[in-house]
């Protein structure tokens, strides 16, 4: 075991995520004497998660110390790892902006409806995230310049690219979407331990470049399933909102592009999949997938219930926390990555890091998602199977250019770029519609500062 | 004067263009003893234009010889210059394909409706052009490897890029769209001789990077006109279909992008300008611009009338051709460029050539449109003012990527790429709509060969 470390968790009020980290830290039991500093802007949530964590280690007799602070500088100071899970404004702002966009004819909001080009965060909301991420990375340059930043909140692709371009901080973007390949294995009836995969691309846009079962190419098994079993599966399936992996949307993307899309990639896809609830149901099943009003509504409710449950436990000193939330490893990669870097517990991960020729058609100043082995010496990327031109040209390039457009707007405050981006939305029928939506988005109170920046208000 | 040269004109049956060349050759009177070889697949048209040209020089007593052939090899053999004006299938095919697309909900056709991404030639029609251009350039490698190819027919951007990538032929793409700046001068009431401009980009996507009047930046004059006179102008103007330069569409593009679009660039613009005849009228005036059913209809009629007039003269040996079509220089650049290269009559031109760092954000294997001086030593490109990121990111890059997609489909016969491109059209509401349109386009007789190539038929 190495020396005790300090881990700062920014946006720790995201209770589910923080509790998962605490459970993983305890289950791995690899960081004796270490300190976890919770930071959030919501003091009440902060206090609750802090109390809960303290009780958690206390019940287990594990030597982990917890701090809490409203001050980012205090959290970052001398940290070895920073986990950023902060989402500026939270889901409330996201839903409000979506509602504004729907009033202007943008079903499910503008910019985050699962199109190829979508960041999952609508702009101008995305700009708040860019600013927050960049502020954190710049603060890290001051207060913990050698720390690793594990970026958990979205948009991982754009955010990690921006931070690695603009600061010297070591960034790893982390997601769990790649586990989607396990759903393929499950539906095909394969033993997951015999499945060998490689998936690459951008976060939320990854493709199965290698799919072997027992050492043999298993794509024919997918083809056979599509040929003989898919229609029956779709006729009868009742997927949870998060289960999109074997939807018609996934299969159609595969048929067009030649490789199977994995995880959140499936939620993206052609905008024609997302034009209406009816279209979403056709492509993603009865709930219309993760991003329909039904699917997303269930997700928000599940999230709320999970948080309520955590806070209920946090506020009830009579229950044993570890009985309700036992210390077993989740599938989140954060703690194992820290363990690999600190304690040399070598592991294979799926991470988002600046391209270094891994994807040959993508510039090196763009963050890509690749498999990598991590140990105390750092990140080791092995041989990467290249994505075919069809995916590079029709999926990755357009998304990359959209990112550059957003960065340009973010850096310059150029209104013309905002309008140009909006005119690129296939639902924008007239220039006036786009202009009116922008006016309305920028009169939303949370956007006040950036409304000034873009010249919408004085 | 240098030695006599041989000029091959491919697609010479395009009577208006061939006659213009003959007039320019005679007016410049700089190529004594030279041979012009007309080649076309339409023998009747070929004979007419050949007779007409012979009479033309005969009346003037100019020493130019004309040949005609249906055989491309004969035309190319030992040529010094090849002018390619051929349009595979001609307007008939274009209109038929447009009609098919309209039946599937694509107003004014698919792929050529003036969108940013449009090549002006719908696919699969564009693929015929790519094949024809590449065949000609490859034949040139065999029969006249040192000749210059002056590419006149569209798509100039894609075609010139393809030919310069795939062959060693020297290619110059030529257009006249850049003269649009003269319409700006006229509307603003400026003396065109005192106007100094620079325009760069891709063919049909060029922007006014320099606009000086009497040595001073004249953009403020445009701004003033927009502020004080534009509305009045738009209220009363009755532009010809070809006069789009000072339309609302041009001004809106300028306001969004920061530089004025020139010539055919104005016809492109946001797809929202082109959604319906009503939209086109709003943005391009009473005729709906060049690409509406009204404007394009008038263009085709004008073209037919011009051709009829030429053939009437060609078939009437009693009239003096030079009285009806006097030998004066047109504004076409072909003959002056030949004169510059052959006789060292140095001149300034607007041409399409492979990028050699002229536009720093564009790869060097892409053809760009830039101003250049030409003399017997070749092409000299001076200092190029760089286009702003907003134009590179939102206009040039998307168009370039669309070109790469078309090339990929062209080279591989990949059906998935065709579908992916079609789903990118904002008018494609469902995947089925796109699939059905493709089926219909590929069952059109002229597309039979490529339908096999793409696996639509056996």
Interface of A with B (CB under 8 A): 252, 255-258, 270-272, 275, 279, 389-390, 393-394, 397-398, 401, 404-405, 408, 414, 416-417, 419-421, 423-424, 426, 428-431
Max Cα–Cα distance, chain A, nearest Å? 64
- The answer to whether A270 touches B423, Cβ cutoff 8 Å, is yes
Q: Which of B176, B196, B414, B440 is catalytic?
A: B176
Element (H, E) at A8: strand A6-10
Please judge whether A393 and B401 are an interchain contact, meaning their C-beta atoms are less than 8 angstroms apart: yes
Distance of alpha carbon B133 from alpha carbon B152, whole angstroms? 11
pLDDT at B113: 45
Residue-averaged pLDDT of chain B? 94
Residues belonging to chain A: 458
Encode pLDDT of A185-227 as tens digits: 999 999 999 999 999 999 999 999 999 999 999 999 999 999 9
Would you call B423 and A252 a contact, using CB atoms and an 8 Å cutoff? no
Gyration radius of chain B's alpha carbons: 22
Distances, alpha carbon B164 to alpha carbons A165, B213, B360, in Å: 35, 36, 19
Percent of chain A with pLDDT over 90: 90
Confidence of residue A56 (pLDDT cuts 50, 70, 90): very high
Q: What does the DSSP assignment read for A172-220?
A: EEE-SGGGHHHHHHHHHT--GGGEEEEEEEETTEEEEEEEEETTEE-HH
Structure confidence at residue B3 (pLDDT): 86
Name beta bridge partners: B262.
Answer: B206
Sequence-distant (6+) residues with CB within 8 A of A328 are: A23, A27
In the numeric block, which tokens belong to residue B36?
């012009």
Distance from C-alpha of A156 to C-alpha of B409, rounded to nearest angstrom? 32
Work out the burial of residue B247: count CB atoms within 10 Å of its CB; fewer than 13 is exposed, 13-18 middle, 19 or more buried. buried
| Cβ contact A25:A31 at 8 Å | yes
Each residue's pLDDT tens digit, A1-31: 578 999 999 999 988 999 999 999 999 999 9
Orientation of helix A397-412 relative to helix A415-423, angle to 10°: 150
Residues composing chain B? 458
Q: How confident is the model at residue A374 (pLDDT cuts 50, 70, 90)?
A: very high
Question: 3-state DSSP call for residue B208?
Answer: strand
Q: Is A111 left (phi over 0), alpha (psi -120 to 50) or beta?
A: left
- How far apart are alpha carbons B349 and B344 in whole angstroms? 14
pLDDT tens profile A126-168: 889 999 999 999 999 999 999 999 999 999 999 999 999 999 9
User: Between chains, do A419 and B258 touch, taking CB under 8 Å as contact?
Assistant: no
Lowest-pLDDT choice from A149-163, B116-130, B152-166, B312-326: B116-130
The pLDDT of residue A125 is 79
CB atoms within 10 A of CB A12: 29
- How sure is the predictor about A113, in pLDDT bands with cuts at 50, 70 and 90? very low
Q: How many CA atoms lie within 13 A of A253 on its CB side?
A: 33
Are B75 and B142 in contact, with CB atoms under 8 Å apart?
Answer: no
pLDDT of A418 over the 60 cut:
yes
- Rounded to the nearest angstrom, the minimum Cα separation between B239 and chain A is 23
- pLDDT surpassing 90 at residue B123: no
Percent of chain B whose predicted confidence (pLDDT) is above 70: 97
CB A44 within 8 A of CB A14: no
Calculate mean pLDDT across residues A350-367. 98
Please report where in the chains the tokens 């409000």 appear, as a residue: A96
pTM of the model: 0.96
Angle, CA of A70, A75 and A78, to the nearest 5°: 160
pLDDT, tens digit (0-9, with 9 covering 90-100), for B15-46: 899 999 999 999 999 999 999 999 999 999 99
Strand B81-84 versus strand A205-213 pairing type: unpaired
- pLDDT for res B118: 54
Beta-carbon separation of B272 and A401 below 8 A? no
pLDDT band at B364 (very low <50, low <70, confident <90, very high): very high
Q: What is the pLDDT of residue B393?
A: 96
The residues facing B353 across adjacent strands are: B368
Give yes or no: B380 in active site.
no
User: Residues in chain B whose beta carbon is closer than 8 A to a beta carbon of chain A?
Assistant: 252, 255-258, 270-272, 275, 279, 389-390, 393-394, 397-398, 401, 404-405, 408, 414, 416-417, 419-421, 423-424, 426, 428-431
Q: What is the CA radius of gyration of chain A?
A: 22
Distances (CA, A) of A444 to A100, A247, A440, B101: 9, 36, 7, 42
What is the band of A172 on the pLDDT scale with cuts at 50, 70, 90?
very high
CB of B142 closer than 8 Å to CB of B187: no
Question: Collapsing DSSP states into helix, strand and coil, what is residue B49?
Answer: helix
- Cα B39 to Cα B294: distance, rounded to the nearest angstrom: 32
Stretch among A107-111, B88-92, B427-431 having the lowest mean pLDDT: A107-111
- Give residue B120's pLDDT: 56
Place of tokens 């299938």: B89
The whole-angstrom separation of Cα A49 and Cα A148 is 23
Token pair recorded at residue B292: 């509406």
- What CA–CA distance (Å, rounded) separates B16 from B14? 6
Measured between its terminal Cα atoms, the distance across chain A in Å is: 56
Who contacts A338 (Cβ-Cβ below 8 Å, separation ≥6)? Answer: A5, A7, A31, A81, A148, A150
Sequence-ordered list of residues with C-beta below 8 angstroms from that of B26, at least 6 positions apart, any chain: B56, B57, B60, B62, B64, B327
CB of B339 within 8 A of CB of B30?
Answer: yes
Q: Tens of pLDDT along B416-446?
A: 999 999 998 889 999 999 999 999 999 999 9
DSSP A153: S
Q: Does residue B204 contact residue B157 with C-beta atoms inside 8 Å?
A: yes
Find the residue in A nearest to B431 (Cα): A272
CA dist A287 and A3 (Å) reads: 49
Confidence of residue A111 (pLDDT cuts 50, 70, 90): low
Are A234 and A283 in contact by the 8 Å Cβ rule? The answer is no
Cα separation, A370 vs A262, in Å, equals: 13
Q: Are A395 and B414 in contact (CB under 8 A)?
A: no
Q: In angstroms, rounded to a whole number, what is the distance separating the alpha carbons of residues B394 and A403? A: 11
**Whole-Å CA distances, A254 to A219, A246, A261, A374, A399:** 11, 11, 7, 31, 18
Mark whether A176 is an active-site residue: yes
Q: Please provide the average confidence, as pLDDT, over all residues in chain A.
A: 94
Distance CA A281, CA A302 (A): 20
A-B interface: how many C-beta pairs under 8 angstroms?
A: 77
**A244-268 pLDDT per residue, tens:** 999 999 999 999 999 999 999 999 8
Residue ranges per structural domain of chain A: 178-195+209-295, 389-451
* Contact: B405, A421; criterion CB under 8 Å: no
Are B294 and B239 in contact, with CB atoms under 8 Å apart?
Answer: no
pLDDT of residue A110: 76
pLDDT attached to residue B416: 95
Cα–Cα distances (Å) from B57 to B39, B44, B84, in that order, read 19, 21, 22
Q: Nearest C-alpha of chain B: how many angstroms from A9? A: 36
């Amino acid at each position: 075991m190495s020396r005790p470390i300090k881990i700062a968790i920014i946006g720790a009020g995201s209770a589910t995520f923080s509790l998962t980290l605490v459970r993983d830290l305890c289950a791995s039991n690899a960081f004796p004497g270490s300190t976890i500093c919770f930071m959030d802007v919501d003091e009440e949530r902060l206090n609750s998660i802090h109390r809960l964590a303290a009780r958690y280690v206390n019940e287990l007799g594990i030597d982990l110390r917890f701090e809490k602070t409203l001050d980012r500088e205090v959290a970052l100071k001398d940290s070895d790892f920073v986990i950023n899970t902060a989402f500026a404004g939270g889901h409330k702002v996201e839903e409000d902006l979506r509602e504004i966009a729907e009033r202007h004819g943008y079903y499910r909001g503008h910019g985050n409806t699962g199109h190829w080009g979508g960041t999952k965060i609508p702009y101008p909301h995305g700009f708040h995230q860019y600013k927050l991420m960049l502020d954190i990375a710049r603060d890290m340059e001051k207060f913990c310049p050698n720390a690793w930043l594990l970026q958990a909140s979205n948009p991982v692709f754009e955010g990690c690219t921006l931070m690695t371009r603009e600061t010297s901080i070591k960034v790893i973007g982390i997601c769990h979407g790649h586990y989607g390949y396990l759903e393929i294995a499950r539906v095909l009836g394969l033993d997951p331990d015999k499945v060998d995969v490689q998936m690459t691309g951008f976060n939320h846009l990854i493709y199965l470049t290698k799919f072997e079962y027992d050492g043999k190419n298993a794509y024919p098994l997918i083809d056979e399933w599509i040929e003989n079993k898919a229609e029956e599966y779709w006729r009868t399936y009742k997927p949870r909102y998060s289960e999109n992996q074997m939807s018609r949307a996934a299969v159609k993307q595969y048929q067009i592009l030649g490789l199977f899309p994995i995880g959140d990639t499936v939620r993206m896809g052609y905008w024609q999949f997302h034009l209406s609830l009816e279209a979403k149901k056709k492509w993603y099943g009865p709930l219309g997938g993760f991003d329909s009003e039904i699917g997303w509504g269930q997700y928000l409710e599940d999230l709320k219930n999970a948080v309520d449950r955590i806070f209920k436990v946090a506020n009830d000193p009579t229950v044993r926390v570890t009985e309700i939330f036992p210390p077993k490893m989740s599938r989140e990669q954060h703690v194992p990555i820290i363990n690999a870097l600190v304690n040399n517990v070598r592991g294979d991960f799926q991470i988002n890091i600046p391209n270094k020729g891994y994807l040959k058609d993508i510039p090196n100043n763009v963050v890509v998602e690749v498999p990598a082995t991590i140990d105390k010496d750092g990140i080791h990327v092995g041989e990467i199977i290249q994505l075919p031109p069809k995916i590079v040209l029709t999926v990755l390039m357009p998304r990359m250019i959209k990112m550059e457009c957003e960065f340009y707007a973010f850096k310059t405050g150029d209104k013309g770029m905002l309008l140009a981006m909006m005119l690129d939305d296939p639902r924008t029928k007239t220039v006036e519609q786009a202009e009116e939506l922008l006016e309305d988005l920028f009169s939303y109170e949370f956007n006040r500062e950036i409304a000034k920046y873009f010249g919408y208000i004085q």
